[in-house]
Chain A
Amino acid sequence: MPERRTGAGRQKEPTLSPLLEIKGLYTEFRLKTGVLKAVRGVDLSVEPGETLALVGESGCGKSITAASVMRLVPPPGRVVAGSVLFKGKDLLSLTEEEMRQIRGNRIAMVFQDPMTSLNPVFTIGYQVAEGLRVHRDLDRAAAERAAIEILAQVGIPAPGERLKDYPHQLSGGMRQRVMIAMALACGPELVIADEPTTALDVTIQAQILELLDRLKSENGMGLILITHNLGIVAERAHRTAIMYAGEIVESAPTEELFANPLHPYTRGLLASLPELGKPGEKLATFAGGVPLLTSEFAGCPFRERCPVGDESCAHQDVEMHEAGPGHLVRCLKSP
């Protein structure tokens, strides 16, 4: 790529341009009891062929971040600020019709629970082919042929026969493969997988993750992997972002993050893993809980549970700063 800057200084460095770039995303829920700030200024980016892991505990806002990207935030929630640039185009400014062209086609989602995300009254063949008929304008026979091909790709034996099965006739691992087949049917450029293997046993989980990795390297698609399983993150993600109380608190290349965690929350999470503790010894824990993120909340949301926080953490919103190459952390006390 030419080392030449065009136009004003706002032009991005001529590096690999991100596939998806989330900037300053805020998503709120207007409840009777007040405004709940579920996503508070999230910045993230994914490059083609890259796996970005988004990690956090329940309620931290990781699934709402994904829903915001897909413009599927359930009411009374809504995105109140920020942009979601997909290949430079802001998804938040598209019409609903334009968004429908992208959703399930160029950006696809894999959900955690295939039993509730598959429609029980349609055959899996119908459901996998549906996206192809809508987005690729294929006729029934062609869509069915394409569906058989994609089901074979995700490792479903005898896909021609399985096509006529209903979701309840398949095992959990097979249903999850069907979900992945549906997501991949139109050859998306980006897949967002929200806890894709949490409901599965470890031996099946390993097979599904291998499959996602293989398809990603074959097709060069980007993958956002939302999970709370740090083992999966360590094995599969190029970069990792840790989310807490609606904010990204740390992000870094995965190896760097595990070798050199800087945010006290990240450190605490790693210390609480039974895998790292000595058998029988106490695991590290945090006292207390996550504060209620209403409009009045200010300062670092982790301060009450933090071993190094003090008064100064309560009075200012903490900005992300770069602690090393590509290693960002949101903590006043970290180097």
Chain B
Amino acid sequence: MTALLETRNLVKQFPVRGGLLGEKRLLTAVAGVDLELYPGETLGLAGESGCGKSTVARLLTGLTPPTTGSIRYEGRELSSLDRKEMAQYRKDVQMIFQDPFSSLNPRMRVADIVGEPLAIHRIGTPSQRRDMVAALLQRVGLSPDHLGRFPHEFSGGQRQRIGIARALAVSPRVIIADEPVSALDLSIQAQIINLLQDVKKDLGLSFLFITHDLSVLRHLSDRVAIMYLGRIVESGKRDDVLTAPLHPYTEALLSAIPSIDPKKRERRVMARGELPSPLSPPSGCPFHTRCPYAQERCSKERPELLEKEPGHRAACHFSERIYRRR
């Protein structure tokens, strides 16, 4: 199967001013990422804050250009698309944001928030648009009575529904959802997860789902990729990665999740210390400063992301040795 959306060696650097002398330095937020999103699948991208997962989302939506590397949509290089094709891409790939409080314009009514993408892409007449917006609201579990209201009149869960309706308005093929349920209470989170599952199935969408919550990741994803300091350190089928990880960082992440299941708490592998600064990433393997298994080689030579088992890739010199017990 060919990938719908594909990145190769994607890099994004930001210039930052730092230090006492205000010298310019480069912060490498994304340091060579390869990802594939196949039609109809949900790819979960997980990692802790600052690992670069949100930057990957912004690069994929075309909100910001990559420093180097390629993004291909249906096999075509994004940078080679003309204006019209790029407009189509922006319609096909929609985004849902984390914070339903800051991602909706407080001075716009719901009808205009959800209808805006339709107007921008010149879809339908104004009265047709009104009907389409009403149908979209119903699709996400809101009532057409809400059309004339402002965002502040809604709860967090309802606002996230509005954000989903806006993303669905232009009939996209790919949804990139950046932590869409992290700001929500538990019972509301479950409602939004169910809604996302429903629209994905009904509309045949592909999802890139970005989260730091591995239990949400496990629930929603077909395949997962784990990011650390701007790189993918492990990727593969959900159950392969989350039940038999091949990278010590994945293992540490999994065992750090507080679990209500006492059986899951027995074997705890702790990552030591703190996340290194992306301004001065460690030499060699980026995880070696926190890794419980690190050897001398790890501080010298960066491991490539290699296929260790069918469809299961990891970037670790010693994954065979560490995880052979399985």
* A272 neighbours in B (Cβ, 8 Å): 186-187, 189-190
B185 touches A274 (CB 8 A): no
User: Is B49 part of the contact surface with A, judged by Cβ < 8 Å?
Assistant: yes
Q: Are A203 and B218 in contact, CB atoms less than 8 angstroms apart?
A: no
Contacts of B310 in A (CB 8 A): none
Q: Give A197-213 as 1s and 0s: 1 = Cβ < 8 Å from B's Cβ atoms.
A: 00001111111011000
A234–B221 Cα distance when bound, in Å, is 25
Q: Does A93 contact B (CB under 8 A)?
A: no
A269 interface residue (CB < 8 Å to B):
yes
One of B163-171, B269-277, B311-319 contacting the partner: B269-277
**A286 near B275 (CB under 8 angstroms)?**
no
Contact B256 A205 (CB under 8 A): yes
Picked from B48, B155, B216, B252, the residue with its CB within 8 Å of the CB of A274 is B216
Cross-chain contact B260 with A275 (CB below 8 angstroms): yes
Per the bound structure, the CA–CA distance linking A313 and B265 in Å amounts to: 39
- B260, A201: Cβ atoms closer than 8 Å: no
Q: Determine, out of A30-38, A83-91, A102-110, A224-232, the stretch whose residues face the partner at the interface.
A: A224-232
- Residue picked from B194, B214, B220, B262, most chain A C-beta under 10 Å: B194
A268 touches B187 (CB 8 A): yes
Contact A269 B260 (CB under 8 A): no
Q: Does B215 touch A at the CB level, under 8 Å?
A: yes
With an 8 A cutoff between CB atoms, is B244 at the interface? Answer: no
Please name all residues of chain B whose beta carbon is closer than 8 Å to the beta carbon of A289 when the two chains form the complex.
155
* Interface contact A201-B190, CB-CB below 8 Å: no
Inter-chain contacts of B238 with A (CB < 8 A): 279
CB of B72 within 8 A of chain A? no
Chain B residues near A269 (CB-CB < 8 A): 186-187
Partner of B258, one of A172, A232, A276, A282: A232
A134 lies within 8 A of chain B by Cβ: no
User: Are B270 and A201 within 8 A (Cβ)?
Assistant: no
Q: Is B187 touching A206 in the complex (CB atoms < 8 A)?
A: no
| Chain A min CB distance to B100 (Å) | 13
Instruction: Pick the most buried of B218, B221, B260: most chain A CB atoms within 10 A of its CB.
Output: B260
Q: Please determine whether A279 and B274 come into contact, CB atoms closer than 8 angstroms.
A: no
Binary per-residue interface labels of chain B (219-237) against chain A in the complex, 1 for a CB within 8 Å, 0 otherwise: 1110000000000000000
Give chain A nearest CB distance to B314 CB in angstroms: 18
What distance in Å separates the Cβ of B245 from its nearest Cβ neighbour in chain A? 14
* Residue A58 lies at the interface, judged by CB distance under 8 Å to chain B: yes
In the assembled complex, the Cα of A236 lies from the Cα of B261 at a distance in Å of 13
Interface residues on B, range: 35 or more
Q: Does B86 contact A (CB under 8 A)?
A: no
Write the chain B residue with the least CB distance to A305.
Answer: B187
Give the distance to chain B from A197, nearest Cβ to Cβ, in Å.
9
Point out the residue from B189, B197, B261, B275 that lies within 8 Å of A201, measured CB to CB: B275
- The distance in angstroms between the C-alpha atoms of A155 and B124, with both chains bound, is 61
Task: Check B49 against A201 for contact (C-beta < 8 Å).
Answer: yes
Closest to A230 in B: B260
Q: Which residues of A contact B191 (CB under 8 A)?
A: 285
A258 in the interface (beta carbon within 8 A):
yes
Contacts of A277 in B (CB 8 A): 219
A258 & B260 in contact (Cβ 8 Å cutoff): yes
Measured between beta carbons, the chain A residues less than 8 angstroms from B109 are: none
User: In B135-164, which residues have CB < 8 Å from any A CB?
Assistant: 155
Encoded as 1 (CB less than 8 Å from any A CB) or 0, chain B from 171 to 186 comes to 0000000000000011
Q: Indicate which residue in B197, B220, B265, B270 contacts A207 across the interface (CB closer than 8 Å).
A: B270
For chain B, residues 185 to 227, give those with C-beta under 8 angstroms from any C-beta of chain A.
Answer: 185-191, 193-194, 197, 212-216, 218-221
Whether A204 contacts B274 by the Cβ 8 Å rule is yes
Nearest residue (CB) in B for A275 is B215
Q: Assess whether A201 is in contact with B218, with CB atoms less than 8 Å apart.
A: no
Residues of B within 8 A of A235 (CB): 258-259, 265
Residue A284 CB within 8 A of the other chain: yes
Q: Please give me the residue from chain B that is nearest to A282 by CB atom.
A: B194
Bound: A173/B256 CA distance, A: 15
Q: Would you give the shortest CB distance from B257 to chain A, in whole angstroms?
A: 6
Interchain CA distance A206-B204 in the complex, whole Å: 38
B253 proximal to A (CB < 8 A): yes
Q: How far is the CB of A226 from chain B (nearest CB, A)?
A: 14
| A160 smallest CB distance to B (angstroms) | 19
Q: How far is the CA of A37 from the CA of B214 in the complex (A)?
A: 36
In the complex, chain B residues whose CB is within 8 Å of the CB of A230: 186, 260
Query: In this assembly, does A80 line the interface, its C-beta being within 8 Å of a C-beta of chain B?
Result: no
The complex places the Cα of A187 from the Cα of B253 at a distance, in Å, of: 32
Q: Is the Cβ of B186 less than 8 Å from the Cβ of A228?
A: yes
- A235-267 residues with Cβ-Cβ distance < 8 A to B are 235-236, 258
Residue of B at shortest CB range from A276?
B260
Do A203 and B259 touch across chains, with their CB atoms under 8 A apart?
no
Asked, given contacts A203-B253, A282-B194, A283-B190, whether A173 binds B219 with beta carbons under 8 Å apart, the answer is: no
How far does the Cβ of A282 sit from chain B's closest Cβ, in whole Å? 5
Asked if A57 and B187 make an inter-chain contact with CB atoms under 8 angstroms apart, the answer reads: yes
CA–CA, A268 and B188, complex, Å: 12
When distances are taken between beta carbons in the complex, the residues of chain B under 8 Å from A280 are 197, 219-220
Q: Are B274 and A174 in contact (CB under 8 A)?
A: yes
Roughly how many angstroms separate A285 CA and B252 CA in the complex, as a whole number?
Answer: 30
Pick from B48, B187, B260, B290: contact of A202, CB under 8 Å: B48
Residues in A138-172 with C-beta less than 8 Å from chain B: 171-172
Given contacts A275-B260, A280-B197, A203 and B252 within 8 Å (CB-CB): yes
Task: Please give the residue numbers on chain A whose beta carbons come within 8 Å of chain B beta carbons, in ascending order.
Answer: 57-58, 171-174, 201-207, 209-210, 228-236, 258, 268-270, 272-277, 279-280, 282-286, 289
20 additional A-B pairs beyond A203-B271, A203-B290, beta carbons within 8 Å, are: A57-B188, A201-B275, A202-B214, A203-B48, A203-B256, A205-B258, A230-B186, A230-B260, A231-B258, A231-B259, A272-B189, A272-B190, A273-B190, A274-B213, A274-B219, A275-B218, A279-B218, A282-B197, A283-B194, A283-B219
22 of the cross-chain contacts (CB-CB < 8 Å) are: A57-B186, A171-B275, A172-B49, A174-B274, A201-B48, A202-B212, A203-B270, A206-B256, A206-B270, A229-B258, A233-B258, A234-B261, A235-B259, A258-B260, A272-B187, A272-B189, A275-B260, A279-B218, A279-B220, A279-B238, A283-B190, A285-B190
